Amino acid sequence: MKALFIGGTGIISTAITRLLAGSEDWELYLLNRGSRNEELPERVQTIQADINDEETVARLLAVHSFDVVADFIAFEPAQLERDYRLFKGKTRQFIFISSASAYQTPLSDYRVNEGTPLSNPYWEYSRNKIACEDYLMRLYREEGFPVTIVRPSHTYDERFIPMGVHGNRGSWQVAKRMLEHKPVLIHGDGTSLWTMTHSRDFAQGFVGLMGNLHAIGEAVGITSDETVTWNQIYGILADSLNVPLKAVHVSSEFLADCWDGDLRGGLLGDKANSVVFDNSKLKRLVPGFTAGIRLDQGMRETVKHILAHPELQEEDPEFDAWCDRVIAALGKAKKEILENRG
């Protein structure tokens, strides 16, 4: 079978690319600009182009048709309108990667499945994903366009430490603060429930949906079944670094209001809410699927890899200084209240 990935080198898609490259059942093409293709497996073929250059892409794909096309880098309906023009009649299945953050926020029930309503007033990213889903499902209903929607949650790999509160340059600075025995910020009281999914586990579920006729017209979540608290998540990172955890718990609303950036969407619109995912639908569509990598196992692997690759240790002085200011302000407020009580 023949597949085309638009993108194919991100946190989610890299693991799928590697898995398919080792399969004799799939012939895999990646369409991207080629900026991260140097580490691709040998059997993967590339079509170098910018997907936004629709005329060039249409010309390059004129001789191709595919069993599966998956777009990993579509975020707005206009991008999917372009995909529809490019791939109508050229693929037997079109997979769109949406997001579990599209689910109702705040939730009326912390247990989440594909029937949970879609609504997120806090995060434009999530609202755009919802609009993308609406557009594609309308194409499926009205024209039979063979759509499958996939909803990942917080997915990580060996290059990325999954954290709740971090700056614009990624989460390494949180680990660096731990290594320097500095306190780290945990949103809320740290007891809300969350799910982390390793990209290799995600890949197993995703590949099981590829070419799966029962997945056409369906939206499917792919996550781990493991549920952890944020206190446990930060504790696992500290254990992986072999350092004590020095946690400072701060209201999610306070953090979102104080950060000069889009922390409100990713925090209030996603990570601050307790979620427990029901993967029954995925397991029905992909019999035998199991997310087998526990967070403590995956985190140790990620930390080991990043410590061995200094190029992945991107520091974030702005976020580091902000953490210090927030912690100092809380300490000052506490001191003043204690001194003036009674």
Residue with more model confidence, 341 or 24? 24
Domain spanning 93-333: which CATH class is it, in words?
alpha beta
For residue range 76-109, what is the model confidence (pLDDT) as tens digits?
999 999 999 999 999 999 999 999 999 999 888 8
Question: Per-residue confidence at 262, pLDDT binned at 50, 70, 90?
Answer: confident
- Break the chain into its structural domains and give their ranges: 93-333
pTM: 0.94
For residue range 16-40, what is the model confidence (pLDDT) as tens digits?
999 999 888 999 999 988 766 667 7
Phi, psi of 228, rounded to the nearest 5 degrees: -135, 160
**What sign does the CA torsion over 295, 299, 302, 305 have?**
negative
For residue range 66-77, what is the model confidence (pLDDT) as tens digits?
999 999 999 999
Alpha helices in the chain (DSSP H): 11-21, 54-60, 77-87, 124-143, 172-179, 199-209, 230-241, 252-258, 263-266, 280-285, 295-307, 317-340
Looking at residues 50-54, what average pLDDT do you find? 93
CA trace torsion 85, 89, 90, 94 (10° rounding)? 80
